[in-house]
Structure 1
Amino acid sequence: MVREIKNMTEFQNELKNATDKLVVIDFSATWCGPCRQIAPFYDSLPGQYPDVVFLKVDVDEAEDVAQNCEISAMPTFVFFRNGSKVDSFSGANSENLVKYIVKHKTQ
C-alpha cells in the first residue's frame, strides 16, 4: 500500500520507522498530467516489492516536504535508506523506476 504524506512530521516518522528498508517517495501534483499517467503503475508496486516502503507526496499539500527534498519538477521519485537520500530522478518513466528500486533495495 502506498501511504500519503501530508506534512514534515509524517515524513520524518516514515523515514524513522522504515529503519534499513528502502523508501521510495513519489512527489507529484493533481494538475500534473505525467503524474496521473504513472500513478496506477506506482500504486501497483507495493505488491511486487513488499520489502520496500512506498510513499506519495502532493507537492501542493506538503510544500515543506517538497522543499526539504528540493523538488523542482514532477513527478520526481526520491529514494531513501536509513533516513538518508540515496538517489532520485524526475519523469514518468516506469522502466527507470523499477531499475532504481532493484538497484537500491539490495544495498
Structure 2
Amino acid sequence: MGEQNKEITRSRVVKVESEKSWDSFTNQAEKQGLPVVVHFTATWCMPSVAMNPFFEELALKNPFALLLLVDIDEMMNVAKKVGVKAMPTFLMMKDGVVEDKLVGANPQEMKKRVGSFV
C-alpha cells in the first residue's frame, strides 16, 4: 500500500549534455515560441549548487518555459558562445536571443525576473 502512495518526481530541468543538444533545445524552443531560462553552473561553485533546488522549483512553477542546466566544465564552448564568465549565471532567452542575464545566487531577484519574463 505504501508503494501506491509513493510519488515519483521527475526533474523539469533539462541538463545540456553536448553542443548539439544545446542547439537542438534552443532551436526547438525558438520554433515553438517557448521562453528559455538557462542556469550555467559548476559543481565546484557552492552558490551555483545552492541554487539548484530553487531552479527546480522555478521549473515546476513555469511549465510553459524550457529550463536548461549547463555545467560549464562540461560545456565550456556553450558558455563562451553566450558570454558566461562567472557562476552562477542565469540567461533568459526568447527567439534565440538573450533578453536578460543575472549573475550571482539571488533567488528573489531570479524569481522576479522569471515571473516577468515567462
Question: Fold-level match, TM-score > 0.5?
Answer: yes
The aligned residue for residue 9 of structure 2 is none
Partners of 1:18 and 1:53 within 8 A in 2? yes
Matched, 1:87 2:100: yes
Matched, 1:2 2:13: yes
Q: How far apart, CA to CA, are the structure 2 residues paired with 1:10 and 1:98?
A: 26
Map 1:7-86 → 2, pairs under 5 A: 7-19=18-30, 20-86=33-99
Q: Give the TM-score taking structure 1 as reference length.
A: 0.93
1:39-88: per-residue Cα shift (whole Å, max 9, x none)?
11111222111011100000000011010011111000011101111110
Structure 1 unaligned regions, length at least 5? none
Q: Give the TM-score taking structure 2 as reference length.
A: 0.85
Deviation at 1:33, TM superposition (A): 0.7
Which of the pair is proportionally richer in strand? Answer: 1
1:40 alignment partner, SS class: helix
- The residue identity in structure 1 corresponding to 2:19 is M
- CA RMSD, 1 decimal: 0.9
Deviation at 1:102, TM superposition (A): 1.5
- The residue identity in structure 2 corresponding to 1:100 is R
Q: How far apart, CA to CA, are the structure 2 residues paired with 1:17 and 1:76?
A: 22
1:34 alignment partner, SS class: helix
1:3-46: per-residue Cα shift (whole Å, max 9, x none)?
01122211111111113111000001000010111111111222
> What is the count of residue pairs matched by the alignment?
105
